[in-house]
Amino acid sequence: MGFYDNYNFDGLKLLAKIKDRPENYCSEPCEEFLNVIKHLKTNRRNVSVAEIGIGFGATALQVLNLLDSDDIYYGFDFADNLNDFAHDLQARDFGITCEIFLATNTDKMFDSYNWNLSNMIFQMRERNEAGLFDAAYLDGAHTFLHDGLAVCLLKELVKDGGFLLLDDIFWTLESDQWGRGYGFGKMTDEQMSDYQILRVRKLFLDNDPNFEALTPPDSWRAIFRKCVAK
């Protein structure tokens, strides 16, 4: 039984895909990210969270329902996805009260959410702020090329004491129909069969003394907490 079996998404653009494609992992919310936000909400009055790659909006919708009017949600994805998501939120009253910031990118070859993340760092530095997100959930392109840089950017964007989550640690391009189509002719056989998010985790997080691993090495989703500066 799916999480959204009792929801009515008829007539919606993005959220309707949750029931149109129930076999897709994007149709279920990320429990780990929801639990992190619940933990944050028990200890803080207002939180700022980011989701990089919203899929069908399954996780995003539940996150928005956990947040209050003092909180901020940042969503990063292709313009078509986020525009459809914004349409759905306006078309149906889901009882959402938090502030929503949607950062779109195009489908041009060298454009991605990383451009928006880098702009946010520049703005953050201009304001002399140390971190923007209390929690960030990366479920993006699943390639070293995109998400290696994304993690480096998010490490600065996450506040001290905040959380960084990586999804699909052991996913490969060759194991998925979409992945095979995306990588065909663009990547080597080694890259197609490699756990690219595991590579990202090992290179940029496992040995970083500023980040504490909260999940075991064999977890499909990795959760890290940024240490509080002394």
Residue 178 pLDDT? 77
User: d(Cα 222, Cα 213) in Å, to the nearest integer?
Assistant: 8
Q: Please, what is the average pLDDT of the chain?
A: 95
Domains in the chain: ranges and CATH: 17-226 (3.40.50.150)
- Region of 121 (left: φ > 0; alpha: ψ -120 to 50; beta: rest) is alpha
What's the average model confidence in pLDDT over 171-200? Answer: 91
Q: Looking at residue 229, what is its pLDDT?
A: 73
Query: Is the predicted pLDDT of residue 194 greater than 80, yes or no?
Result: yes
| Res. 176 pLDDT band, cuts 50 70 90 | confident
Dump pLDDT digits (tens) for 34-64: 999 999 999 877 999 999 999 999 999 999 9
Q: Is the pLDDT of residue 212 over 90?
A: yes
Q: Among residues of the chain, what percentage have pLDDT more than 70?
A: 99
**Structure confidence at residue 209 as a pLDDT band (50, 70, 90):** very high
pLDDT at position 230, please?
67
Per-residue pLDDT at 3 exceeds 70: yes
> Is the model's pLDDT at 123 over the cut of 90?
yes
Distance CA 105, CA 85 (A): 14
- pLDDT, position 122: 98
DSSP string, 85-128: HHHHHHHS-----SEEEEEEE--STT--HHHHHHHHHHHHHHTT
Burial environment of residue 96 by CB neighbours within 10 A (0 to 12, 13 to 18, 19 or more):
middle
> How confident is residue 1, by pLDDT bands cut at 50, 70 and 90?
low
pLDDT at 12 over 80: yes
